Amino acid sequence: MKINHVLKALSHPIRRAIIAYLRNGSMTAGALAEKFDVSKPTMSTHFAALKEAGLITAERDGVTIHYRLNATVAEEAIGMLMGLFGTQHMPSVQEQPPAPEETENEI
């Protein structure tokens, strides 16, 4: 995974929207293209950038292409960025301690 490819791929709003759609499961190239008012060659360019970054995978079924999200690459990129800023590990919601309850003395 090259962080530069990931950041460049995520720099365009249409590519971020494609990622958002794919969070709900795989979609065909045609179904994704219908969501945007751009030409087919433009969509192909966006798909290529996301594939090059490793953020999506493509599987051909005859003439239909199904795209899927590859969340592992996004997780690796987030980890690299956190390391860059000196935050090695950010606890998940499950790992965070529960919020303290208010007591009468605090009110």
Q: pLDDT digits over 5-31, tens only?
A: 999 999 999 999 999 999 999 999 999
> What is the domain count for the chain?
1
Which two structure tokens, joined as six digits, stand for 107?
Answer: 């009110």
- Please check the confidence at residue 98 and state whether its pLDDT lies above 70: no
φ, ψ of residue 73 to 5 degrees: the values are: -65, -40
- Give me the CATH number covering residue 77: 1.10.10.10
Is residue 91 situated within a structural domain? no
Residue span of the structural domain in which 54 resides: 3-84
Is residue 9 situated within a structural domain? yes
Is residue 22 situated within a structural domain? yes
Is residue 11 situated within a structural domain? yes
Is residue 27 situated within a structural domain? yes
Please give the Cα distance from 102 to 107 (Å, whole number): 7
pLDDT digits 0-9 by tens, 67-77: 999 989 989 98
